[in-house]
Structure 1
Amino acid sequence: MSKSKYYYSFFLFLFIIINSCKETPKQILDSGINDYALYDEKGELHRFSYYNNSKAIVLYVQGNGCPIVRNSLKEYNEIASIYSEKGFAFFMINSNIQDNRNNILIESKKYNFTIPVLIDSAQLIANELDINITSEIIILTPTTREIIYRGPINDRLNFESQKNIVTNNYLSNTLDLIIDDDLSKIKSEHAKGCKITRLSKINSKKIITYTKDIAPILIDHCVKCHVEGGIAPWAMTDYNEILGWSEMIKQVLLSKRMPPWKADPEIGEFQNSFAIEDSNVRKITTWIDNNLPYGIGEDILANVIPINENWEHGIPDKIITLKEEIIPASGLIPYRYQQIKVNITEDKWLKGVEIKPGNKNIVHHIVLSNKENSDKSNIVSRKLSPWTDNFIALAGGADQVTFFPKNTGVFIPKGTILNIQIHYTPSGAVESDQTEIGFYFYSKKPKKTLKSLSTSNYSFEIPPFGKNVIIKAEDLITENIKIHYIIPHMHYRGKSIKFKVQYPSGNIETLVSLPDYNFNWQWFYKLKKPISIPKGSKIIVEGVFDNTFQNPFNPDPSKKLIYGVQSTDEMLIGFFNYTLD
């Protein structure tokens, strides 16, 4: 054997051995308790359970303007750079009521923050972890989020003074003890920093009650789904029901799993938002912690009218009943497709659509689109997709009705054939569904024609166990348009998604950002005011995918993913409705 062949064989063998020794990621069993979620200064959402594969979660209490914080940042960054390689997750957390995302971002740029700052200005997590001072380190166990250590980084800094030499490296010593699994030797210390004004002291005399404070919040943000006949597994019918579910309510609020409106609260305004403000979350959690006082007056939840089977906007002008679908008790259900002919004797303009699933237990979502592109005008140079670029309506979650913006309508010519795509999820029993679709027409042509487009990427690959895989899709817009509604869409590996516009000037604006994307919740994001998009602008859809065990919805992290229509495949689509401007 020649030397070159020998070396080739040797290094090939070495490569195979090294790669075969790589540890395959394993699923971590998480307790599900103390699972908090906060946005950082850049608008990314961090749920603590996502980091349950770390050795520990390290928090440093940051506060704008605090000298001790500013003087210790360099040391914290240095420790984080070393120990993040050893499996620790590092964050800062800001619980100051006077700080917000914008001024924290300014502070981070000025002082070169390299670690995300979790924003807790409503002090939801400060209440849970008893945060009262900045410059304090809090270390949490990764799967139960219990406190292992709290105290300073080291003993170098004091009020208005600092030493040149560190004699006690509290943080790095504690991290070493965690690595050595020698937790019994960990000892908490008193930290020195800037006092944090606690809302609990400011509002200490205010009594929060169910009748005056809590029930109205639940009606505004929760009863949309948690109503008799709704899609939620239980209904908020009265005080006693809330009492029984109170600890679960607190848990899903602190983890931001509920309510399931996924848009970043600081980007865009939406007419159909049911997002809950952190101040109201604080009211609910404080009320629960204070033994849930009832108050005075009637129980307004008891007066909520159950959802009935009537059409929400009255009897439609035309009703089409789909053929019955039989759904097995378990397993992956391939999408079901049907085609329907809209038997109308003349061209019509559609005002809105209501899709009524026959069985809400098993219908995940339904998409209605034109079979062919009846309108040949176009705002992009590429070939149109038969259904994604011509969708009409979506029914998903609690949204079954799609009514179009005022004075706009979708053109439905005589003889139109529509595509129906239905995604079913098994319930544990064999069930059937027969969905109805109601069409509402204008009596005359509206002022504007509403059209749809989907900025999509059909050529991508997500590797097995791939984490934070960024994929983009783009469309160059060739006409002046106004965007009204947006539907960002991915499947189970989707982690976050943004819908952006790059204007001809080069400036980029984010119209919708979903930092906590969840395939189980499909919503129209209906802009309060339509956005004018000039000719020459670019639509950019940017998705982040997580094909790891840290994604709790991932059916199989070992699978390589490409574009596909099944939910176990992947997609990156930014649907939007527009009118010509």
Structure 2
Amino acid sequence: MTTFRRLACLGMCLCCASVASAQLERVGDVALLDQHGEFHQLSRYQHKQAVALMAWLPGCAAQETTLKAFSDLQAQYASQDVAFLLVDASGSRDRTGSNWDGLRVLHDETQLVSESLGMDQAGDVRLINPQRLTVLYKGPAGQALADALDTLQGEPLRQTVTVAHNSCAIDFAARNAHQHDLPDYAADIAPLIIEKCVVCHRENGVGPFQLDSHLSLLGWSPMIREVVMNRRMPPAQVDTMVGHSVDARRLSTEERQMLVHWIDAGGPRGDSAQDPLAEFEFNGDKNWLLGEPDYVVKTPPYAIPAAGILDYVYVDVALPFTEDRWIRAIQYLPGSPKSLHHLMAYVTAPDEDFWGAERSSTAASRRFLTSYIPGEPTVREYAPGTAIFVPAGHKLSLQLHYMTYGMQSVDETQIGLYFTEQPGLKEVRTRAVSANDFLIPAHTPDFSVQAEHVLEEAVVVTGVRARMNYRGKHMRFAVELPDGSQRELFSIPSYNYAWQPHYQLDTPVHLPAGSRLRVSGAFDNSVSNPANPDPARDVSFGLSSSDDVFIGYFTYYAAE
């Protein structure tokens, strides 16, 4: 080959390499709560053209100019479907002082989001396309960011624009510590997975894959990292700044940092000869944890196909009691734990169905037992001196939801009832506070709804549950006391139709007569909602899953 031909080939290779490298950087999906406890996830901004995130470090004077420019750009581009969000990258867990000129401040208490976006100094901005999760711009707020924003209305960028700047460095203390002393698989990671994940991700568990060895954990680690970063897992997460419940599932700040940093380091096996995941056996869904029940209800056998999406199954089960009974505790034993995704149970009159008075009343008071969702064994013991009342001749009305997993199965779930004959019991009831007069317009990402009910008697609230269908976005439970003061009880910032636990409050709340129970929330009927079957359709109230409901449940008993 002649020298000329060699140079020509080299030139072509360099040209191809240059074209190949001229591409937009990509980021993973992430989610955080803001200073108001509202949930923000990159992929849930698909109704926007772009999301601008700026790292904010309280106390950094060097970022003030950039911060002012960022705020000015928000006002300038307010009509162009761009979301502007600050990210508190300090690692602080205090949301009370986070406010700057009307901007939403997302709290990155783990610093994992700031790490993953490469924002290592105050004032760093990332302009992101939420449809493709590509980075359009990296640098400070200013004219270069404005130029990148202008391309949203014209020729799209094909390469990430990067502008250097100097500001206060962000101290990633946990990352630095883990780089010097990486968490150990056998001592740290495997016990965490056993405690938080294996209850679903096991043989015959409802999780789509098993975590039964270091090798399986390593293979699924990219997926695990993704769902931890965007807060899809663990399920049933709540805002712990508002309320606490043993039924809420979460990873602590330290646990999330430990797990993600271990995955980022390649998930090393470590030196231990033991593999705790391979040795662990789960028996929680096979035994009666309170001893043999006084009576066992069996659901009719239900055949689950190998594939497909299944609608809810409604079943009435007769009870043979000729005298009144009081239930002090209940336990569910699923017949097919890999298929049964949730079960709700009510005590109902002979002519009453599962929905009962909720079909017409916006404040129905009913006898709700508890809900089953996958995970820890579902055992509910009611507070001392309280119980569920079962009048003679009443029955159980059940709602069951099954998931397919590639194999046919049959479910016959058992419900263990434990009775008490203690005198002077207080009846546990559940108030369904709902709205039934709404119409959610098509292509609407944040449609607010509110419902309320005034208590006629003093009560003790022991638990709450949110119920919406596919378009549910978030729900918050609060109370206005007779003196006009407000108290927040519980918040579910990212509602998921697939997970509907009943949250037993860690601390029951005493409310006087005249208190106003208030439920507020929103629906997302847009393309940004991954569960939305049809964002082009207006949706009204209806008990079918193709429609939607807005119900906040308060479980309570009469106060002294």
Q: TM-score, normalised by structure 1?
A: 0.83
Counterpart code for 1:367:
M
Contact conserved, 1:32 with 1:49, CA < 8 A, in 2? no
Hey, what does 2:253 align to over in structure 1? Answer: 278
Spell out, residue by residue over 1:453-490, the C-alpha distance to the aligned partner (whole angstroms, 9 max, x if none): 11112222112222211111111011111111111111
Find the partner of 2:117 among 106, 124, 129: 129
Contact conserved, 1:334 with 1:566, CA < 8 A, in 2? no
Pick closer, same or farther for the CA change 1:312–1:558 going to 2, 3 Å: farther
Hey, what does 1:12 align to over in structure 2? Answer: none
Hey, what does 2:277 align to over in structure 1? Answer: 301
Find the partner of 1:229 among 204, 208, 211: 204
Per the TM alignment, residue 523 of structure 1 is displaced from its structure 2 partner at its CA by 0.9
Per the TM alignment, residue 103 of structure 1 is displaced from its structure 2 partner at its CA by 2.6
Summarize the alignment of residues 487-506 of structure 1 with structure 2, pairs less than 5 Å apart.
Answer: 487-506=465-484
Counterpart code for 2:383:
P
Hey, what does 2:530 align to over in structure 1? Answer: 552
Query: Is 1:55–2:30 an aligned residue pair?
Result: no
Hey, what does 2:21 align to over in structure 1? Answer: none
Contact conserved, 2:438 with 2:449, CA < 8 A, in 1? yes
Hey, what does 1:463 align to over in structure 2? Answer: 441
Give the distance between the partners of 2:306 and 2:449, measured in 1 at CA. Answer: 35
Contact conserved, 1:38 with 1:118, CA < 8 A, in 2? yes
Contact conserved, 1:177 with 1:183, CA < 8 A, in 2? yes
Give the distance between the partners of 2:404 and 2:540, measured in 1 at CA. Answer: 24
Give the distance between the partners of 2:275 and 2:521, measured in 1 at CA. Answer: 44
Q: Structure 2: 5+ residue runs without aligned partners?
A: 1-24, 352-358
Find the partner of 1:528 among 496, 506, 512: 506
Per the TM alignment, residue 563 of structure 1 is displaced from its structure 2 partner at its CA by 1.9
Give the distance between the partners of 1:277 and 1:574, measured in 2 at CA. Answer: 27
Q: What secondary structure does 2:84 align onto? A: strand
Contact conserved, 2:364 with 2:433, CA < 8 A, in 1? no
Summarize the alignment of residues 91-490 of structure 1 with structure 2, pairs less than 5 Å apart.
Answer: 91-98=85-92, 100-104=94-98, 108=99, 111-112=100-101, 114-154=102-142, 169-183=143-157, 187-199=161-173, 200-297=175-272, 298-307=274-283, 308-326=285-303, 333-372=310-349, 389-398=366-375, 400-425=378-403, 432-445=410-423, 447-490=425-468
Contact conserved, 1:373 with 1:386, CA < 8 A, in 2? no
Between 282-291 and 202-211, report the one with greater CA deviation. Answer: 202-211
Identical pairs, percent: 29
Counterpart code for 1:391:
F
Query: Is 1:543–2:521 an aligned residue pair?
Result: yes
Counterpart code for 1:268:
G
Pick closer, same or farther for the CA change 1:442–1:303 going to 2, 3 Å: farther
Give the distance between the partners of 2:70 and 2:397, measured in 1 at CA. Answer: 56
Spell out, residue by residue over 1:208-234, the C-alpha distance to the aligned partner (whole angstroms, 9 max, x if none): 111122122222222232233322122
Hey, what does 1:25 align to over in structure 2? Answer: none
Between 468-477 and 437-446, report the one with greater CA deviation. Answer: 437-446
Give the distance between the partners of 1:560 and 1:341, measured in 2 at CA. Answer: 39
Between 247-256 and 408-417, report the one with greater CA deviation. Answer: 408-417
Between 246-255 and 503-512, report the one with greater CA deviation. Answer: 503-512
Q: Structure 1: 5+ residue runs without aligned partners?
A: 1-30, 155-168, 375-381
Contact conserved, 2:362 with 2:436, CA < 8 A, in 1? no
Pick closer, same or farther for the CA change 1:453–1:32 going to 2, 3 Å: farther
Contact conserved, 2:429 with 2:556, CA < 8 A, in 1? yes
Choose between structure 1 and 2: higher strand proportion: 2
Root-mean-square deviation over aligned CA pairs: 2.8
Per the TM alignment, residue 539 of structure 1 is displaced from its structure 2 partner at its CA by 0.6
Contact conserved, 1:349 with 1:446, CA < 8 A, in 2? no
Contact conserved, 1:208 with 1:293, CA < 8 A, in 2? no
Find the partner of 1:78 among 66, 69, 72: 72
Contact conserved, 1:394 with 1:402, CA < 8 A, in 2? no
Per the TM alignment, residue 96 of structure 1 is displaced from its structure 2 partner at its CA by 0.9
Q: What secondary structure does 2:343 align onto? A: strand
Give the distance between the partners of 1:565 and 1:337, measured in 2 at CA. Answer: 12
Per the TM alignment, residue 48 of structure 1 is displaced from its structure 2 partner at its CA by 0.4
Q: What secondary structure does 2:96 align onto? A: helix
Per the TM alignment, residue 356 of structure 1 is displaced from its structure 2 partner at its CA by 3.4
Between 550-559 and 186-195, report the one with greater CA deviation. Answer: 186-195
Between 523-532 and 341-350, report the one with greater CA deviation. Answer: 341-350
Contact conserved, 1:346 with 1:414, CA < 8 A, in 2? yes
Give the distance between the partners of 2:27 and 2:80, measured in 1 at CA. Answer: 25
Spell out, residue by residue over 1:184-204, the C-alpha distance to the aligned partner (whole angstroms, 9 max, x if none): 586422223222112223554
Give the distance between the partners of 1:535 and 1:386, measured in 2 at CA. Answer: 15
Spell out, residue by residue over 1:226-256, the C-alpha distance to the aligned partner (whole angstroms, 9 max, x if none): 2333221222222222111111111111111
Pick closer, same or farther for the CA change 1:371–1:184 going to 2, 3 Å: closer
Spell out, residue by residue over 1:114-139, the C-alpha distance to the aligned partner (whole angstroms, 9 max, x if none): 22112113210122122221112222
Give the distance between the partners of 1:198 and 1:337, measured in 2 at CA. Answer: 51
Between 119-128 and 416-425, report the one with greater CA deviation. Answer: 416-425
Give the distance between the partners of 1:498 and 1:99, measured in 2 at CA. Answer: 21
Q: TM-score, normalised by structure 2?
A: 0.86
Give the distance between the partners of 2:537 and 2:381, measured in 1 at CA. Answer: 39
Q: What secondary structure does 1:196 align onto? A: coil
Counterpart code for 1:483:
V
Query: How many pairs are equivalent?
Result: 525
Pick closer, same or farther for the CA change 1:192–1:432 going to 2, 3 Å: same
Contact conserved, 2:27 with 2:134, CA < 8 A, in 1? no
Hey, what does 1:561 align to over in structure 2? Answer: 539
Per the TM alignment, residue 93 of structure 1 is displaced from its structure 2 partner at its CA by 1.1
Hey, what does 1:88 align to over in structure 2? Answer: 82
Between 384-393 and 174-183, report the one with greater CA deviation. Answer: 384-393
Between 176-185 and 335-344, report the one with greater CA deviation. Answer: 176-185
Per the TM alignment, residue 98 of structure 1 is displaced from its structure 2 partner at its CA by 4.5
Per the TM alignment, residue 83 of structure 1 is displaced from its structure 2 partner at its CA by 2.1
Spell out, residue by residue over 1:371-409, the C-alpha distance to the aligned partner (whole angstroms, 9 max, x if none): 2399xxxxxxx9968987332222233364333234421
Per the TM alignment, residue 551 of structure 1 is displaced from its structure 2 partner at its CA by 0.5
Q: What secondary structure does 2:525 align onto? A: coil
Pick closer, same or farther for the CA change 1:553–1:202 going to 2, 3 Å: same
Counterpart code for 1:137:
V
Pick closer, same or farther for the CA change 1:185–1:299 going to 2, 3 Å: closer
Counterpart code for 2:67:
L
Pick closer, same or farther for the CA change 1:311–1:235 going to 2, 3 Å: farther
